[in-house]
Amino acid sequence: MGLIERKLPDNVLTTSVDTVINYCRKSSIWPVTFGLACCAIEMMACGAAKYDFDRMGIIFRGTPRQSDLMIVAGTVTRKMAPVVRKVYLQMPEPKWVIAIGSCATSGGIYNTYSTVQGVDEIIPVDFYVPGCPPRPEAFYDAIVALQQKIMTEKVIRK
Amino acid sequence: MSYNNISEVITVNMGPQHPSTHGVLRLVVDLDGETIVNVEPDVGYLHRGTEKLAENRTYHQCIPLTDRLDYLSPLSNNLAYCLAVEKFFDVKIPERADYLRVILAELARVASHLVWIATHALDIGAMTVFLYAFREREEILDLFEIGTGQRMTSSWIRIGGIRADMPEEFFVRAKDFVERFDKNVDTYENLLTNNRIWKMRTIGIGHLSAEDVQDYGTSGPLMRGSGVDFDLRRDEPYCCYDKFQWEIPVQPEGDTYARYKVRMKELREANKIVGQALETLPAGPVMTDDPRVALPAHEDVYERMEALIRRFYIVSKGFKAPKGETYQGIEAPKGELGFYIVSEGEERPYRMKVRAPSYVNLGALNHMAKGHMLADLVAIIGTNDVVLGEIDR
Amino acid sequence: MTFEQLVQNLDAQFSGKLNCYTEYKCNFIKVKDASVYKDVLKALKNDASFLYIVDVVATHWPKKKEKFEITINLFSIQNKLRIFVKVAGEDNKFPSITDIWKGADLMEREQYDLMGIIFEGHPNLKRVLLPEFFEGHPLRKDFPLKERAWFNNADEQGLGLKFSR
Ligand code: SF4
């Protein structure tokens, strides 16, 4: 934020609309609760007392229509794939996706007849977090990276 | 309640993306007004093909697969699988390993029950318990991390013993945790046991009679909550549970509140077992020296050629189990968890069938939910304590 | 009641039709004559207190004459005794035991789904873990391990999903 000297009263700051909107967006990311497997338990642990995602403005929502982030935590199977896609489509723009765990990123150890080899086959993914399951710190890292990415986005003029 | 004058039955879909179904469970509910006429669980949204995968893994390589079945208590799954494979060889497990297995399995039970109380209470509307229970769970996960290097899927229990001994810090912190834990259970009980809302939401809900539980094959707290005194730790002894003093909580009422009480008591009993095991832990090795299953020790590998070859052979090709079939069930947090292994005398299991407690318990869901309100279904799912990784495998 | 006593009682009732043995600390009762299979199970439940059904397991033996085998895992809480009742057949048809134990319903459905065993008399025999449009039965030995061609067989919800890996 810059300060145009002498032209405005002292308590007026100037910045771009993009920055303000992005700043708001990055500080109140509401992910949709979408636990699929083991990694979802770590996601719950992130939301609970010790790691406490709330302090980053993250509040888990039960419905995709109120959220702007989808954390795909766990194994995506063929039976689940249409559901994942549908939940993604129900989310309003702007929306981001984080794939948590090796299952969601690449199928992980489950190279079998029923497992989708990476959730990026069905929805676009912004960040991949490796690990089986990743530690909550890795979740944090993904969120911080996402916040940085949000700050670079152009809102008014695409 | 009678359904003779059903006016109109509507079908409601619950899940698979639903915050209170504990994962990707889908229920198709037939409703007459608010009353449940029929519930059909539709599972398989997490079917990953573990059993097929296991047929192409060596016995050692199967252990990480078992972690991911019941991911709330990975170590009990390791234990059940390893005990089943050990039955083929009749290996003698060193005493210290047996004790450490008990400690790990019981800590896993505590961790699993903590997730249960957290989510069960959260579903019914008590948010505070969730935060408290996860605080304690974090401590247990920290313990696992100190002892085994991983928070959840540690694969620490191996065929023939455990991977390695725990560092001193593990025992210090575990003792500290055990001392405090009873008080924490008091906290949860203070919040719930005499809470009027909690009682109204759980007493008389999801009734199962003593005949029903056996007929449906439901096990674990569901069975003990219906007055059947059955616990595999005592009735089909494994490890060294007979060396400790503990009780099996049984409640005759058979409703959700009774099962709540059973699980709360189990938390305390599990904690008691861990305490005693830590007190009386014998010294000694933690891995059997039976050459058929055990990897040669590292010191040997560096010095002796035969040990090096043997280690290389076991790691790359695996060891052969004799021909036959065997089964081992353990009292996992959710009920009887069993591995039925068919061996054709090769390095891989010919067929591995996981007897998953949650899957079988789910079979009784319709019976439990019939005639209740839709809102009670959430309480019934919670008391069933389903974990989808195990149901779908 | 120990396993020996149980075997004696059963032998009196079904002489020559059973083969009882203990292997790796597990007690097996192999029903050689499939026609008495359900009678054996009924006798076990009603007379020998095997009220608790633990599991139903199906095994595929493509190289043997009797290609499919069912193992019923039972536990008697009263006697603290676990037994496995086995029956084998050349084709994949076996009588359902849902009328004896209600819990067998879901267990048999799973074996139908994964192994393709037809349980005759089962009230609701359809796939449980895999979607309806899946072809074949994955736990059979001749099922390819990694092949995922069926992924594109259906587009249930019309979302235009395409799988390439
Ligand atoms: S990455 Fe590992 S922990 Fe996560 S869902 Fe897959 S198997 Fe489970």
Look at residue A150 in the predicted model and tell me its pLDDT.
Answer: 87
Residues of C in contact with B235 (CB under 8 A): 77, 80
Residue C38 has pLDDT above 70, yes or no: yes
Top pLDDT among C164 and B246 is at: B246
Written as six digits, the tokens of C122 are 């089962």
pLDDT tens digits for range B255-313: 888 888 888 888 888 888 888 888 888 888 888 887 788 887 778 888 888 888 888 88
Going by pLDDT thresholds of 50, 70 and 90, the confidence category of residue A152 is: confident
For residue B207, the tally of other CB atoms under 10 A from its CB is 16
Closest listed residue to residue B141, CA positions, set B152, B132, B157: B152
Residues of A in contact with B71 (CB under 8 A): 37-38, 41
The verdict on A85 touching B (C-beta cutoff 8 Å) is no
From residue B361, how far is each of B63, B82, B131, B355, C103 by CA, in Å?
A: 24, 24, 27, 11, 9
Q: Ligand 1 atom closest to Cα of B153? A: 3
Average pLDDT, chain A: 83
* CA dist., res. B362 & res. B44, Å (int): 13
Looking at this protein, which amino acid is placed at residue A4? I
Going by pLDDT thresholds of 50, 70 and 90, the confidence category of residue A3 is: low
Average pLDDT, chain B: 85
Residues of B in contact with C131 (CB under 8 A): 44
Q: How far is the CA of B308 from the centre of ligand 1 (A)?
A: 33
Written as six digits, the tokens of A155 are 């809102």
Q: Which residue has the tokens 């903590």?
A: B114
Does an H or E element contain B51, and which? helix B50-54
Name the residue at shortest CA distance from atom 2 of ligand 1.
Answer: A132
Q: How far apart are the first and last CA of chain C?
A: 56
With an 8 Å Cβ cutoff, are B24 and A36 in contact?
A: yes
Question: In percent, how much of chain C has pLDDT > 70?
Answer: 99
pLDDT tens digits for range A117-134: 888 888 889 889 888 888
CA-based torsion, B268, B270, B271, B273: positive or negative: positive
Written as six digits, the tokens of C29 are 């009762």
Question: In percent, how much of chain A has pLDDT > 90?
Answer: 0
Going by pLDDT thresholds of 50, 70 and 90, the confidence category of residue B363 is: confident
Q: Is ligand 1 within 6 A of the CB of residue A133?
A: yes
* CA dist., res. C144 & res. C150, Å (int): 12
pTM of the model: 0.89
With an 8 Å Cβ cutoff, are A49 and B52 in contact?
A: no
* CA dist., res. A13 & res. A16, Å (int): 10
Pairing of strands A69-73, A96-100: parallel
Question: In percent, how much of chain A has pLDDT > 70?
Answer: 96
Closest listed residue to residue B360, CA positions, set C130, C107, A27, A127: C107
Q: How far apart are the first and last CA of chain A?
A: 21
With an 8 Å Cβ cutoff, are A114 and B49 in contact?
A: yes
Going by pLDDT thresholds of 50, 70 and 90, the confidence category of residue A2 is: low
Q: Is ligand 1 within 6 A of the CB of residue A107?
A: no
- Answer yes or no: are the C-beta atoms of A96 and A146 closer than 8 Å: yes
Going by pLDDT thresholds of 50, 70 and 90, the confidence category of residue B127 is: confident
Residue C70 has pLDDT above 80, yes or no: yes
Name the residue at shortest CA distance from atom 8 of ligand 1.
Answer: A38
Give the pLDDT mean for C94-118.
Answer: 86
* CA dist., res. C139 & res. B51, Å (int): 8
Q: Is ligand 1 within 6 A of the CB of residue A76?
A: no
* CA dist., res. A60 & res. B122, Å (int): 13
Q: Ligand 1 atom closest to Cα of A38? A: 8
Going by pLDDT thresholds of 50, 70 and 90, the confidence category of residue B229 is: confident
Closest listed residue to residue B8, CA positions, set B31, B42, B39, B41: B31
Closest-CA residue of A relative to C128 is A79
Give the pLDDT mean for B38-53.
Answer: 85
- Answer yes or no: are the C-beta atoms of C125 and C119 closer than 8 Å: yes
Closest-CA residue of C relative to B50 is C139
Going by pLDDT thresholds of 50, 70 and 90, the confidence category of residue B6 is: low
The verdict on A89 touching B (C-beta cutoff 8 Å) is no
The verdict on B211 touching C (C-beta cutoff 8 Å) is yes
Give the pLDDT mean for B88-102.
Answer: 87
Give the pLDDT mean for A106-121.
Answer: 84
Look at residue A117 in the predicted model and tell me its pLDDT.
Answer: 86
With an 8 Å Cβ cutoff, are B23 and A34 in contact?
A: no
* CA dist., res. A122 & res. A85, Å (int): 6
Look at residue B21 in the predicted model and tell me its pLDDT.
Answer: 62
Closest listed residue to residue B361, CA positions, set B340, B390, B339, B341: B390
Q: To the nearest 10°, report the CA torsion of C122, C126, C129, C135.
A: 130
* CA dist., res. B301 & res. B317, Å (int): 17
Closest listed residue to residue B85, CA positions, set B70, B103, B65: B65
* CA dist., res. C76 & res. C84, Å (int): 11
Look at residue B5 in the predicted model and tell me its pLDDT.
Answer: 58
Average pLDDT, chain C: 83
Look at residue B4 in the predicted model and tell me its pLDDT.
Answer: 57
* Closest Cβ–Cβ partner in C57, C127, C128 for B340: C57
Look at residue B346 in the predicted model and tell me its pLDDT.
Answer: 83
Give the pLDDT mean for C63-78.
Answer: 86
Name which of B348, B353, B390 to mutate to probe chain C: the one with the most chain C Cβ atoms within 10 A of its Cβ.
B353
Residue C164 has pLDDT above 80, yes or no: no
Q: Is ligand 1 within 6 A of the CB of residue A116?
A: no
Residue B329 has pLDDT above 60, yes or no: yes
Q: How close C103 comes to chain A (CA, Å)?
A: 25
Q: Is ligand 1 within 6 A of the CB of residue A37?
A: yes
Highest mean pLDDT among A136-150, B278-292, C16-30, C37-51: A136-150
